[in-house]
Amino acid sequence: MAEMKGKLFSRFKDYNYILDKMLEEKRFSQDAKNLLLNMIYKIETSYKDYSMIKGVYKTKNEFIDEIIQSVSENCNNILLIDPKKDGVLLLQREKAIAITDEKEKKIYAYPTEQAILYGIMEIKPKYFYIPSRYNYFQRGLQKALVEGSILNATEVIRNFNGWSWNVVEDTNINYVSNMIYQGIRLLLDEEFLENWEEDQDATNDYIYELRKNLTQLYGENCAKNVYFSLVRLIISSSSRSTKKRLGQEYLIAQQAYARMLDKNKYILDASNEKKFIANEIEKIDVVLSDQNRLLHEFKLRNQKLPDDQKMTDANELFKILIRTKQKYINRINELNELVKPITFNTLKKDLKDKIEILSIFTQQINTREFSILFFQEILKCFSKKLENIRVKEELLEIIYKMRYVRKLRITEDEKVEDNHVLNNQIKKILEYAVTLACKHKIFNIFCKDVKINFLVIERALDTTIANYEDVDISLEIKNEGLEITVYDNEVIEKQEMINCILTSKDLNVRQRKHIPMYVF
């Protein structure tokens, strides 16, 4: 084991000392230590491909530093669960590869590097605070973002092995959470999500910031559609009991909004309620200020209460009246705030949004369909990026990201690229971007016909080759059409035919010659 450890550490010059010292202080078994080291090794070898394909801004060293810091601060023990023993029931019951005990700072995990990384990312504190004004989707979105954050961080060894990008193994995960996290990440950036995750100030409104940023980048209509489709997806994937409660809230919101349409009546109703409350407070004050009245009220109330709910003495009633008075005072303050013009308009707008969002209860659409609708809006917004391309690097980043998005899963058996509507949206974005990339001499031009040239390059983009610089393309005209052979360096990655009528004069390259896709 010691020999293996030394061999591994020779690959991590920057982490040798810090890992050694940290692991000395932890109650990890030797197997857990070795898995942790193997996990770091896998990240080290996979991170270049991972960051390139996903368009990650964080460096490899920053990513690994965060993992080490999380273990150092949040984890005192990693307990490996043998799949063949009874302890595995703990993980099977939760349908998880790892579960955590934040209080005891323990991770229970299958003996795999992926499970260890999942546990480390899960035990790391994540806040994603959402103000109570969004209570109808607050808990669902927070849960989705927490799960999405974990899945985002563990993808580096879940789908990458240092040799290839393997999306086939991307199963047994929460696809809704992953799609929500990746959708927001695609339109804004990972930094926005990380700031939200790490911000401990519960008063900050990141839903407002989300909508504001989307509006600034993509316009008000796009921002609204993304937001509405996001919340509808959260609601559609919630439990049956939550849906039942939200169905009732939909009716209440409609009634509340109807009352606000007549502003004068709304203000009058608030004023009348304040008068009523003020009168109730006055009655409480009279009782509180006179011991005899308090004793009389105590006896009167106790006579009406069942034996198991009777108060023990007048002091208990005194405390109840103080609490009731405070609730009344809070309600008066709330009513004073609600009739202020700014608060009134904000509440009215929130209710209108809530009604429009919760109108999904009048539709017969399932979670899969809401996932598709959500990503349709994401792609509509993302297509606007093409209007503001300034440098070649931005163009290449768009192409990489679209290739990544194609492989995201809607369900266990369906990827984005398998859905006709979503795949067509991506094709339109890619066709524009690839054509522009050829004009800017990022990609070589293989055919003089723009449409066919795109189809050639698209076949090369639809592979698991991480780096475009490793892609070569060979063309050959045959009776059936144009044969495209895509190479990962010298190895054939795929071979496909395009049905079209061409002559050698239509091609921009020599037939059967390996031509780099990327212009060097």
pLDDT of 16 reads 61
Token digits of residue 163: 């040799």
Cα distance between residue 389 and residue 393, in whole Å: 9
Whether residue 434 contacts residue 457, with contact meaning beta carbons closer than 8 Å, is answered with yes
Spatial neighbors of 313 by CB under 8 A, at least 6 apart, are 298
Share the mean pLDDT of the chain.
90
Cα distance between residue 273 and residue 263, in whole Å: 15
User: Half-sphere exposure of 178 toward its Cβ, with a 13 Å CA cutoff?
Assistant: 20
pLDDT of 8 reads 41
pLDDT of 9 reads 41
pLDDT of 170 reads 64
Q: What is the pLDDT of residues 265-317, one digit of tens each?
A: 999 999 999 999 999 999 999 999 999 999 999 999 999 999 889 998 999 99
Whether residue 68 contacts residue 21, with contact meaning beta carbons closer than 8 Å, is answered with no
The list of the chain residues with pLDDT below 70 reads: 1-17, 168-172
Paired strand residues for 98: 109
Q: What is the pLDDT of residues 443-463, one digit of tens each?
A: 999 999 999 999 999 999 998
pLDDT of 84 reads 82
